[in-house]
Structure 1
Amino acid sequence: MTAYDPDNVFARILRNELPAARIYEDDDVLAFMDAMPQGDGHALVIPKMPSRNLLDADPETVSKLFRAAQKIAVAARAAFGADGVFIGQYNEAVSGQTVYHLHVHIVPRFKDVDLRRHAEGGFADPQVLADHAARIRAELDKNEA
């Protein structure tokens, strides 16, 4: 297996070298909007601990990642009034992984609405992503209250 690249795009987001519409952050994870969303509200949750993917991640890192993913999924579903939520995680190129930093996709789903292909629409409008992040944060705030 190839070694972890500390200059991958998600590592750079963690270091604030690249912008992201941030949703949630704690000591272990960061959640932000996918810049090339497959649907409205498409979020990513990543661990702060460097891991190429699930295959090389420490089990404690995975546990913390999926606890946060559940929290974001519940908030995203509510924020967008979705019928369900797709949660996906890819490992290695053959599975569809394109960024080699462990991450979980959270995509609100709606009856009779297909997902867009990941790069099909290119990069989303940053203001739309910021608005979507704010909607999910508002739901997280409700759940914390």
Structure 2
Amino acid sequence: MFPDDGMSANETSVDITGVYSTNSLSRWRPRLVSMSEDCIFCKIVKGEIPSSVVFEDDICMAFLDVFPIRKGHSLLIPKKHFENLLDADPDVVAHMAKRLIELTRGVKVATGAEGVMNAVANGEGAGQEIPHLHFHAIPRSSGDAFGFRFPPGYRESMAKREDLDKMAQKIAESV
């Protein structure tokens, strides 16, 4: 079932009433964008779709990803529907940050991984497939096959301080 267990990423034994596609969730995207009633993660919160829950409280819940990149790949979501981090309640995010530390520690210990990558994508252009805020906790090891490594040589060309200062100012004006 897990990609590092010898099965291909397209093979799965998970069949959850047709909600998940075996290859991609992109076909569900048009239905998910506008209505939280149709959101896969909201259905998990309501108990309409089964999940392997790691923990749950009044604000958020953590469960295992049904399409794990690595064994132990977990997701942390708010129970209230927020499309992404940019429209989320700051108090909810603050609570989730504390719980993300706990989840990350648990994933590392339970899997014996060398490290754990945390990721959040905000919007389709960033790779977000489910428009409900979620944080990934993905166990990682040196030499694992999962991507997201900085490209070779990226530190060979340092940005000019003037360009960095201009961008910092532009971002500061937008905050």
Q: Give me the TM-score of the superposition, normalised by structure 2.
A: 0.63
Match for 2:48 among 17, 25, 29? 17
Matched, 1:109 2:140: yes
Matched, 1:90 2:121: yes
Matched, 1:68 2:99: yes
Match for 2:90 among 59, 83, 96? 59
Which secondary structure does the structure 2 equivalent of 1:73 belong to?
helix
Shift of 1:116: 7.4
Larger radius of gyration: 2
The residue type paired with residue 44 of structure 2 is: I
1:39 matched residue in structure 2: 70
Task: Provide the C-alpha distance between the structure 2 equivalents of 1:75 and 1:4, rounded to a whole number of angstroms.
Answer: 32
Task: Provide the C-alpha distance between the structure 1 equivalents of 2:132 and 2:35, rounded to a whole number of angstroms.
Answer: 7
Shift of 1:64: 1.1
Task: Provide the C-alpha distance between the structure 2 equivalents of 1:35 and 1:116, rounded to a whole number of angstroms.
Answer: 19
Task: Provide the C-alpha distance between the structure 2 equivalents of 1:65 and 1:77, rounded to a whole number of angstroms.
Answer: 18
1:4-48: per-residue Cα shift (whole Å, max 9, x none)? Answer: 633210000000000111110111110000000111110000011
Structure 1, unmatched stretches of 5+, are 118-145
The residue type paired with residue 40 of structure 1 is: K
Task: Provide the C-alpha distance between the structure 2 equivalents of 1:97 and 1:85, rounded to a whole number of angstroms.
Answer: 19
The residue type paired with residue 66 of structure 2 is: A
Which secondary structure does the structure 1 equivalent of 2:143 belong to?
coil
Task: Provide the C-alpha distance between the structure 1 equivalents of 2:35 and 2:116, rounded to a whole number of angstroms.
Answer: 29
Matched, 1:77 2:101: no
1:47-97: per-residue Cα shift (whole Å, max 9, x none)? Answer: 112211101001001111111111000011011111111000001111000
Which structure exhibits the higher relative contact order, with contacts defined as CA atoms closer than 8 Å and separated by 6 or more residues? 1
The residue type paired with residue 98 of structure 2 is: R
Q: Give me the TM-score of the superposition, normalised by structure 1.
A: 0.75
The residue type paired with residue 92 of structure 2 is: T
Task: Provide the C-alpha distance between the structure 2 equivalents of 1:8 and 1:65, rounded to a whole number of angstroms.
Answer: 20
The residue type paired with residue 82 of structure 1 is: A
The residue type paired with residue 43 of structure 2 is: R
4+ long deviations beyond 3 Å:
none
2:81 matched residue in structure 1: 50
The residue type paired with residue 62 of structure 2 is: A
